[in-house]
Copies of this chain bind each other. A is one copy, B any other.
Amino acid sequence: MTDIPGPRSIIGLDVGGTKTACVEGTWNAQILQRHEVPTRAKLAFELTFPSIVDLVREELAEATRCGRTVVALSVAVGGPLRIREGVLIDPPHLPGWHQVNLKARLAREFPTLPIYIEHDGNAGALAELRFGAGRNRPGLRHLIFLTFGTGIGAGLILNGRLLRGASDTAGEVGHWRLAADGPIGFGKRGSWEGFASGAGLVQLASHMFPDRWRPDTAIRDLVDAILADDADALQVAAQSGRAMGAGIALLMDAFNPQLIVLGSLGVILGERVLRSAREVIAAEALPSALAACEIVPSALGLQIGDVASLMAALTHSSLARKGGR
């Protein structure tokens, strides 16, 4: 009946500033297997890439053992990048990965698999629209997804379509300056990413409480302190939340979205960051834009990265036509 034996699946790579996850998923974004390695983002790409290739090979072998055929390799990675070519330009949270042609490198290792790459913010927005917050909202046409992981960037669904922009950098709002002074993020002092991202939280903490946290404190340690309701850590979260609110208010005035979805740390920290964000948003955003917009943590929860990694392939027209069962 078909020339591909057994059920078909996709391998997804979610390349973050802290870890890289490799998943095998179905057309319905069900995750069949999952493994991860630390990204070691400051090391040269050549030193990290082999461990990622190994993960993909292991999952391909496991898929074969289980009688499934992997038909594509799908990647979500932070920008700026040239999406169609799969070339990373200078992603701030992958300093060792600048000017890497990730698509070409993967193609050399896996010559029989078509490879699709998408910006992680865009992929997150597509994942939420189709499998997350958008699932039970048929009228949803304007959605903004904020990655809020090690860095921060936005995926923009406007008029029901993904906006990549003229050179694939639409949504790089982590680069927005929110204040003349402040922590450095995305190479810029006082940027949104400097104030409100995993890396930004650590910088803010080391600035506000230099005796307790240092600029090289692991994000996880600070996050654990916030979740333990440590008073100092909660102050850091609130301060970061206020900057998050200032950024979200700008998004609301510019895009007038129906829904803003927060990934990763938005899921983990929730109202510990969002409470102060909401206060600033209420004071800053246009009332009519504010009234039209809901702000929620990802409906896919911590699975958002896994599902997002599959979206480059799942939304690619040629593959989507072959999809389903």
Give chain A's interface residues, CB within 8 Å of chain B.
Answer: 80, 89, 141-142, 154, 158-159, 161, 163-173, 175-177, 179-180, 188, 246, 249-251, 253-258, 284, 286, 288-289, 291-293
Contacts and interface: CB of A to CB of B under 8 A. Distances in A.
Contacts of A159: 158-159, 161, 163
Contacts of A257: 165-166
A173 B256 contact: no
A137 to B, nearest CB: 12
B292 A253 contact: no
A163 B254 CA distance: 10
Contacts of A292: 165-167, 169
Q: Is chain A's binding surface mostly helix, strand, loop or mixed?
A: loop
Contacts of A256: 164-172
A171 B254 contact: yes
B286 A80 contact: yes
A289 B177 contact: no
A177 B254 CA distance: 12
Given A80-B286, A89-B288, A253 B166 contact: no
A312 B177 CA distance: 35
A89 B165 CA distance: 31
A116 to B, nearest CB: 19
